[in-house]
A and B are shown apart, each in its own frame.
Chain A
Amino acid sequence: MKSRLFMMVLSVFCLLLMACGGAKQMAQSENQTEKQDNESPCPDWFINVPEDPDHLYAAATATSKDLQLAINKAEQDTRVKIGAQLETRLQSLTKQFKEEIGEGADATVDAQFTTVSKTVISTTLSGSKVKKQSTKQEGQTWRACVLMEYPIGAANARFLQSLKETENLRVKAAATEAFKELEAEVEKYEQEKEKTQNNQ
Chain B
Amino acid sequence: MFIVWLATVHPTLPPPVRETTPAYPRWFWEMPSDKVAAFAVGYARRYARIETSFAYVRRQSVWQLVRSQQVKVDCSQELLNQFGQNRLLRLKESEQIDSSLAPTIVASMSIIDSAVVGDMVLALAAFPSHSNLNIRNERTSPSRRPQWLEVLPTEQSAIYVVGTSPLYYYEHHSWERAEAHARRQLASALTTHIRSTGEKTGQRMQVWSESQSSVTLRHAIVIKRWFDVSSRQCYVLCRMPIQ
* Inter-chain contact A130/B152, CB cutoff 8 Å: yes
Chain A residues 169-200 with CB under 8 Å of chain B are 193, 196-197, 200
Q: Answer yes or no: B193 CB below 8 A from chain A CBs.
A: yes
Q: Answer yes or no: B163 CB below 8 A from chain A CBs.
A: yes
Q: Answer yes or no: B69 CB below 8 A from chain A CBs.
A: no
What 1/0 flags go to B84-106 for Cβ under 8 Å of A? 01101001000000000000000
Q: Answer yes or no: B159 CB below 8 A from chain A CBs.
A: yes
Closest partner residue, chain B, to A69 (CB atom): B88
Chain A residues 61-108 with CB under 8 Å of chain B are 62-64, 66-69, 71-73, 75-77, 79-80, 83-84
Q: Enumerate chain B residues within 8 angstroms of A68, measured Cβ to Cβ.
A: 163-165, 181
Q: Answer yes or no: B77 CB below 8 A from chain A CBs.
A: yes
A126-B192 contact given A76-B79, A77-B81, CB 8 Å threshold: yes
Q: Answer yes or no: B209 CB below 8 A from chain A CBs.
A: yes
A62-B155 contact given A67-B164, A126-B190, CB 8 Å threshold: no
Complex CA–CA separation, A129 to B185 (angstroms): 10
Which of B155, B162, B209 has a CB less than 8 Å from the CB of A76?
B209
Q: Answer yes or no: A40 CB below 8 A from chain B CBs.
A: no
Complex CA–CA separation, A135 to B43 (angstroms): 27
* Inter-chain contact B231/A128, CB cutoff 8 Å: no
Complex CA–CA separation, A72 to B210 (angstroms): 12
Q: Answer yes or no: A137 CB below 8 A from chain B CBs.
A: yes
Complex CA–CA separation, A118 to B149 (angstroms): 35
Closest chain-B Cβ to A163's Cβ sits at a distance in Å of: 21
A66-B166 contact given A76-B77, A133-B152, A197-B157, CB 8 Å threshold: yes
Closest chain-A Cβ to B103's Cβ sits at a distance in Å of: 33
Q: Enumerate chain B residues within 8 angstroms of A137, measured Cβ to Cβ.
A: 231
Chain B residues 174-212 with CB under 8 Å of chain A are 181, 184-185, 188-196, 207, 209, 211
Complex CA–CA separation, A172 to B86 (angstroms): 45
* Inter-chain contact A77/B86, CB cutoff 8 Å: yes
Q: Enumerate chain A residues within 8 angstroms of B152, measured Cβ to Cβ.
A: 129-133
Q: Answer yes or no: A127 CB below 8 A from chain B CBs.
A: yes
* Inter-chain contact B156/A193, CB cutoff 8 Å: yes
Q: Answer yes or no: A125 CB below 8 A from chain B CBs.
A: yes
Q: Enumerate chain A residues within 8 angstroms of B157, measured Cβ to Cβ.
A: 196-197, 200
* Inter-chain contact B194/A73, CB cutoff 8 Å: no
Closest chain-A Cβ to B163's Cβ sits at a distance in Å of: 7
Q: Enumerate chain B residues within 8 angstroms of A196, measured Cβ to Cβ.
A: 156-157
* Inter-chain contact B150/A67, CB cutoff 8 Å: no
Complex CA–CA separation, A122 to B193 (angstroms): 6
Closest partner residue, chain B, to A136 (CB atom): B231
Q: Answer yes or no: B1 CB below 8 A from chain A CBs.
A: no
Complex CA–CA separation, A78 to B18 (angstroms): 41
Closest partner residue, chain B, to A121 (CB atom): B194
Q: Enumerate chain B residues within 8 angstroms of A130, measured Cβ to Cβ.
A: 152, 161-162, 185, 189
* Inter-chain contact B233/A67, CB cutoff 8 Å: yes
Closest chain-B Cβ to A126's Cβ sits at a distance in Å of: 4
Q: List 21 A-B contacts (CB under 8 A).
A: A67-B164, A67-B233, A72-B91, A75-B185, A76-B209, A77-B209, A79-B211, A80-B196, A80-B209, A125-B191, A125-B194, A126-B190, A129-B152, A129-B154, A129-B159, A130-B152, A132-B152, A134-B150, A196-B156, A196-B157, A200-B157
Listed from nearest, the 6 A-B pairs whose CB atoms lie closest are A196-B156, A126-B191, A73-B86, A83-B194, A80-B196, A80-B209
B residues touching A (Cβ–Cβ < 8 Å)?
Answer: 77, 79, 81, 85-86, 88, 91, 149-152, 154-157, 159, 161-166, 181, 184-185, 188-196, 207, 209, 211, 231, 233
Known: A66-B166, A71-B164. 14 other contacts (CB 8 A): A64-B88, A67-B164, A68-B163, A68-B165, A72-B91, A76-B79, A76-B194, A126-B191, A129-B152, A132-B150, A132-B152, A135-B149, A193-B156, A200-B157
